[in-house]
Structure formats: C-alpha cells, structure tokens
Amino acid sequence: MRFVNTQLLSLLAVAAALLVGATNIRAEIVKRLVFESGQEGYNIYRIPTIVKAANGDLLAFAEARSGGDASEIDIVMKRSSDNGDSWGQLQVVIENDRYRGWDGLPTTDVTAGNQSPVVDHLDPLHPGRIWMPFTLENDRVFVTYSDDHGATWRLDNAGRAREITPDVKLDSWGWYATGPVHGIQLTRGESRGRLIVPSDHRAGGWGAHVVYSDDHGATWELGAIDTRDSTDSVRPNENTAVELVDGRVYFNARDQNGSAPGNRAVAYSSDGGASYDEPFTPAPEFVTPVVQNSVMRLRATDMGDSENVLLYSGPGQAGSRNDMTIRVSFDESATWVKHTLIHAGPSAYSDLVAIDSDHFGVLWEAGDSLYEQILFGYMAFDDLDPIGFNGIDGDVNQDGVVNIDDLNHFISVWSPVSDKEFLGGADNYLNGDLNFDNRQDVSDAALLRRHLLQAGVSTSGLEALMRPVPEPSTLLLGALSSCYLLGSKVSTRASLSDP
C-alpha cells in the first residue's frame, strides 16, 4: 500500500508540474494557424495585414485568392479577442464580385487586395474608426471604414467602397498598391492625427509614395513620392512606416532588384510624410530577400516607457524567402540588433502588431511549402535574442553545475503537451528541450537521466515523466481531478498579461 501511495504522489506531482509549469517557462513563441490554403472556400491566402482595434481585438486580414496575383481575389478578415490565442470565423470584407463589370472593370476575376488598415484613435467624432484603403486590379484605389471594430464595413447599396483614385494616383502611373502593411496614425507635432498609408507604384521603373488624410478619412491625398528609373541602383517598392519620437517618419522599403547592396532601402520624412527628406538610400544591414517586410513601434520614452523600441519583421535569408526573423532598434532606426529567428523554414510577407508594451505579435506567410499557411505568433519582447547554451550537458537551469537543482528545474517546466515553441540557445535548455528539437518529449527526459547518472545525481522522479504521455484532454482531466481531490487550486494557463 505504501508503494501505491508513493507512486500516486509521484504522478500527482507530475500532473501539477504539467499544469503550472507554464509560469516558469521562458523565451517562448505561441503560434496559431489563421488562414490555410484550400480551406474556408479559397485556394490560397496571401498578403497578411493586422491591426489592434480600439476595443483590444486583433483583426487579421488577407487576400483570399483563387490563384495567383491576377486571379479572382476577395479581402477577408478574422478576429481574435484573446490576444491571438484563438481566431474566429472568416469574414469577407471586400467581395470582388460586387465590382465585376462595373465602371469598366473586368466581368470576371476582379482582383481586390493590398489592404492597409489603420486605426484612427484621435477622431473626436468616431474614436477607434478603422480605415482600410485597398486596390482593385492594382490600378484603382478605394477606401472603406468600420465603426464597430471590424464587425461591419461602410459600403454603398451595391456593396462597393468609395473610390479615391483621382486623389492619390498620378495619370502616368500603372501598377499601384496601398501597403500591403498596416497604416499608421501620427501622434506628434503639427501633423498629429494624420493617417499615413505607405504605398508603391510603377511608372516605367519602380517607386514608393505616401497616401495620407488630415481629416480623419474624409479626404485622401498624395504625399511623398520617390520614382526611379528601371536602371537605377535603388528601386523602392513595397514599404512600411513608423513615427519616430522626434516627429519624423521612417520608411523602410523593398528594393526591387536594384544593383545597390542588399535588398532594402530607407528614407525619412520631417513633414509627416508629405515629402521625403532625401530619396531612398540602400540599407544593406538588413539581411533579407526581395520581399515585403514590416516595422512597428513597441515602446517610446515620450509615452512613459523607459526606452525606445522599434521592431522589424522579415525573412532572415538574403536569397530566399525563409526564416522569419525579428530585429530590434533601441536608437530610433539608426541601428538594428537582437536578430531573433522565430520561425525556421518558408516565410514571406509579414505584419507586426503591438499587444501591449511588453508583448507583440507577427502575422506571416508560412507552411511546409511557401504560402500554404498564414500564421500568427505572439511573444514577450524580453524573450528576444536569448543567450547561448553554456555547453554543459545536463545543466538544465544553466547555472554552471549539474546537480539536483537541474532535476527539480526540469520537472517544474515539464509540459510535453505544450503548443509553445522556444527561441533557441539556453532558453531551449531552460524549458527542458535538451535535444534542441524545439519541443519537450520523453527523449528529453531520457537524455537528462543519462546526464544525471554520469554526474552521480539522483534521477528519482524522472521515471514518472518518462511514462507514455496520455492525450492532452485525458491528461488535463486526470490532473484536474487529482488536484481537486488534494484541495489544490491550479491555474491551467498563465495569462498573457502575467507571463
């Protein structure tokens, strides 16, 4: 009977560790599938954009396509009311069939896309109104808005948005794209309240430009323009914008196969995006392929934070769309550090969103092969750029020695049914991923047992962990029942605001 009680207590301890271990886990990214090719009525989803609505919901947008860039395309959206942990049903925001054959547009396969949502927090009459400029056929420009955090969108009786093409496009331009990334609202200086949509165009060569509104979306106009010849060494294209604490606007653009070093170019504006201070210049410090990337502010000293933090997302390989990587600037875009790989493998377009001053999310194109999925990942800023593994096998807590504390630490973070991934280096080890395969499983426990035995440390307690792990629902039910019988109160998940 004593043996049975001891075994039961051991299993209960493991069950409790499974449930509360998340509070000890460091440096993790939680990934969620938002859109998947072939699902929910569409063949492929591309061009992700995301904003945080005034009510706190995250709104993830995408082009829902029948095929390629020039196929039949709708603009769709999904909502998360729990900081990206779960996503609701697909909502069609712009239906291409509402425009078929209208005003000279094609009778079939109209392409709607390049959505660039921006939240207007400073509109005194409609605080939190979400504006969404977009294009049809990469030629004509439209806007719609939502006053209920994306639940409904303003359209006319025929289901069409308002066209603004004559106000924001020069006659000499051909291809045109708003975004495709979130827009921003300026909060500093004389242009406070201005809505900015970074955009691009073609006019023989390539170019970047700004669309903006100074009257909360009532009218829109053309701002800064940088058009280059097809033979120019820099060819600015899709670009992203962020307001700096000194009031300038920083623009970071895709360089469309120019001969200058690297694949990015940058420019600044001192007049709120009405003009560029200087033309775009090469930014070879960004190692990334020719692709759309995203930039965002997380912290600002003039808003009460202790430091200035800008974030940048994009694939981390120079020659291929792979390895989604986050970069950080603490000096308002002058330098970029803390290069953190958050997703190995196929990765392309992305967009960033601030959840709060400590957490952020990324919406990006991924999949086993490129464009199969659009994923959302959320993480804490302090988890970026984890320190390297110290190289001592069995030193789970990374304190430089192998002893009983490593066993206790391993048990405390043991959670093999977790859906979290770790960000590398010492943090994988601290989370019990001893073989660095980015997950916890029985092989990690077996590996620790070997290291402890070699170091002459007791392995008591590991046997229970190494038993086959039940299905998550069975494990959770059993653990909760056991803890209830013991009179324990256990939290099954650490909240995002209290990691």
What does the pLDDT read at residue 35?
98
Q: Is 53 within 8 Å of 119 (Cβ atoms)? A: yes
Beta carbons of 380 and 499 less than 8 angstroms apart: yes
Bridge partners of 179?
none
**361, 50 in Cβ contact below 8 A?**
yes
Q: Which two tokens stand for residue 221?
A: 């106009």
Cβ pair 59, 116 in contact under 8 A: no
- Can you tell me the distance from the alpha carbon of 493 to that of 499, in angstroms, rounded to the nearest whole number? 9
Task: Report the pLDDT value the prediction gives residue 467, as an integer from 0 to 100.
Answer: 67
Q: Residue 167 in contact with residue 220, Cβ under 8 Å? A: yes
**Confidence (pTM):** 0.86
* Residue indicated by tokens 């290291």: 451
Residue 24 pLDDT: 40
Burial of 154 (0-12, 13-18, 19+ CB in 10 A): middle
> Percent of the chain at pLDDT above 70?
88
The reported pLDDT for the residue numbered 418 is 72
The residue among 264, 357, 364, 366 whose CA lies nearest residue 318 is 264
Rounded to a whole number of angstroms, the CA Rg of the chain reads 25
Per-residue pLDDT of the chain (499 residues; tens, 9 = 90+): 343 444 444 444 444 433 333 334 456 899 999 999 999 999 999 999 999 999 999 999 999 999 999 999 999 999 999 999 999 999 999 999 999 999 999 999 999 999 999 999 999 999 999 999 999 999 999 999 999 999 999 999 999 999 999 999 999 999 999 999 999 999 999 999 999 999 999 998 999 999 999 999 999 999 999 999 999 999 999 999 999 999 999 999 999 999 999 999 999 999 999 999 999 999 999 999 999 999 999 999 999 999 999 999 999 999 999 999 999 999 999 999 999 999 999 999 999 999 999 999 999 999 999 999 999 999 999 999 888 999 999 999 999 999 999 999 999 988 886 777 888 889 899 999 999 988 888 899 999 999 999 999 999 888 777 765 544 444 443 443 344 333 433 333 333 333 3
Query: Which pLDDT score, from 0 to 100, does residue 135 have?
Result: 98
User: Cβ atoms within 10 A of the Cβ of 119, count?
Assistant: 24
At residue 55's C-alpha, the angle toward residues 133 and 77, to 5°, is: 45
Cis peptide, bond prior to residue 180, ω within 30 of zero: yes
Name 401's Cβ contacts closer than 8 Å, sequence gap at least 6: 392, 395
Rounded to 10 degrees, the C-alpha dihedral 118/122/124/126 comes to 20
pLDDT in tens, 114-169: 999 999 999 999 999 999 999 999 999 999 999 999 999 999 999 999 999 999 99
Distance, C-alpha 210 to centroid of its chain: 23
CA distance 288 to 316: 5
With contact defined as beta carbons under 8 Å apart, do 264 and 277 qualify?
A: no
3-state SS track over the chain: CHHHHHHHHHHHHHHHHHHHHHHCCCCEEEEEEEEECCCCCCCEEEEEEEEECCCCCEEEEEEEECCCCCCCEEEEEEEECCCCCCCCCCEEEECHHHCCCCCCCCCCCCEEECCCCEEECCCCCCCCEEEEEEEECCCEEEEEEECCCCCCCCCCCCCCCEECHHHHCCCCCCCEEECCCCCEECCCCCCCCCEEEEEEEEECEEEEEEEEECCCCCCCEEEEEEEECCCCCCCEEEEEEEECCCCCEEEEEEECCCCCCCCEEEEEECCCCCCCCCCCEECCCCCCCCCCCEEEEEECHHHCCCCCEEEEEEECCCCCCEEEEEEEECCCCCCCEEEEEEEEEECCCEEEEECCCCEEEEEEEECCCCCCEEEEEEEEHHHCCCCCCCCCCCCCCCCCCCCHHHHHHHHHHCCCCCCEEECCCHHHHHCCCCCCCCCCCHHHHHHHHHHHHHCCCCCCCHHHHCCCCCCHHHHHHHHHHHHHHCCCCCCCCCCCCCC
> Reading across the β-sheet that carries 236-243, which strands appear in turn?
236-243, 249-255, 264-269, 281-282
Euclidean distance between CA atoms 12 and 49, whole angstroms: 44
Q: Is the CB of residue 179 less than 8 Å from the CB of residue 290?
A: no
Structural contact between residues 465 and 14, judged by C-beta atoms closer than 8 angstroms: yes
